[in-house]
Amino acid sequence: MKKWILIIGIVAVGLAGIFVFQKFKPQGVQESAVAPKPVDFQATKAKAEQGDVEAQVTLAKLYGTGQGTAPNFKESAAWYQKAIEKGNPDAQVGLGELYEAGQGVKRDLAEAARLYHLAADQGNAGAQYNLSEMYHYGNGVKKDEAEAAKWLRSAAEQGNAAAQYGLGQRYDLGVGVAVDRVEAFKWLSLAVAQGVSDNVGALGRVKDAMKSAELSEAKKRVAAFVPTKGAKPLAK
Query: What's the CA gap between 37 and 67, in Å, rounded?
Result: 12
Do 64 and 113 lie in a common domain?
Answer: yes
Residue 33 domain-assigned (yes or no): no
Angle, CA of 158, 165 and 236, to the nearest 5°: 55
Do 146 and 197 lie in a common domain?
Answer: no
Residue 222 domain-assigned (yes or no): yes
Do 57 and 138 lie in a common domain?
Answer: yes
Residue 8 domain-assigned (yes or no): no
- Strand partners of residue 18: 9
Residue 92 domain-assigned (yes or no): yes
Domain endpoint, select from 130, 158, 186: 158
Is the Cβ–Cβ distance between 59 and 51 less than 8 Å?
no
Do 115 and 208 lie in a common domain?
Answer: no
pLDDT for 134: 98
Q: At 77, which CATH number?
A: 1.25.40.10
Residue 13 domain-assigned (yes or no): no
User: Residues with Cβ < 8 Å from 82, sequence gap 6 or more?
Assistant: 48, 56, 91
Do 50 and 141 lie in a common domain?
Answer: yes
Do 48 and 116 lie in a common domain?
Answer: yes
Do 183 and 154 lie in a common domain?
Answer: no
Residue 12 domain-assigned (yes or no): no
Question: Which residues of the chain have a pLDDT value below 70?
Answer: 1-36, 231, 234-236
Residue 222 structural domain:
167-227
pLDDT for 35: 53
CB atoms within 10 A of CB 158: 22
Is the Cβ–Cβ distance between 108 and 79 less than 8 Å?
no
Domain endpoint, select from 127, 158, 189: 158
pLDDT for 37: 73
Domain endpoint, select from 103, 135, 158: 158
Pair type for strands 17-24 and 3-10: antiparallel
Query: DSSP string of 27-68?
Result: T--PPPSSPPPP--HHHHHHHHHTT-HHHHHHHHHHHHHTSS
- Amino acid type, 123: G
pLDDT for 36: 61
Do 150 and 171 lie in a common domain?
Answer: no
How many domains are there within the chain? 2
Do 95 and 180 lie in a common domain?
Answer: no
Query: What's the CA gap between 48 and 83, in Å, rounded?
Result: 9
Is the Cβ–Cβ distance between 163 and 155 less than 8 Å?
yes
pLDDT for 39: 87
Do 138 and 190 lie in a common domain?
Answer: no
Do 132 and 83 lie in a common domain?
Answer: yes
Residue 130 domain-assigned (yes or no): yes
37-to-43, 53, 112, 198 alpha-carbon distances in Å: 14, 20, 30, 31
Taking only the tens place, the pLDDT of each residue in 179-210 is 999 999 999 999 999 999 998 899 999 999 99
Do 177 and 69 lie in a common domain?
Answer: no
Q: 193-208 burial, b if ≥16 CB within 10 A, otherwise e?
A: ebebebeeebbebbbe
* Helices 181-193 and 202-209, axial angle in degrees (round to 10): 140
pLDDT for 28: 32
Residue 90 domain-assigned (yes or no): yes
pLDDT for 229: 83
- Strand partners of residue 79: none
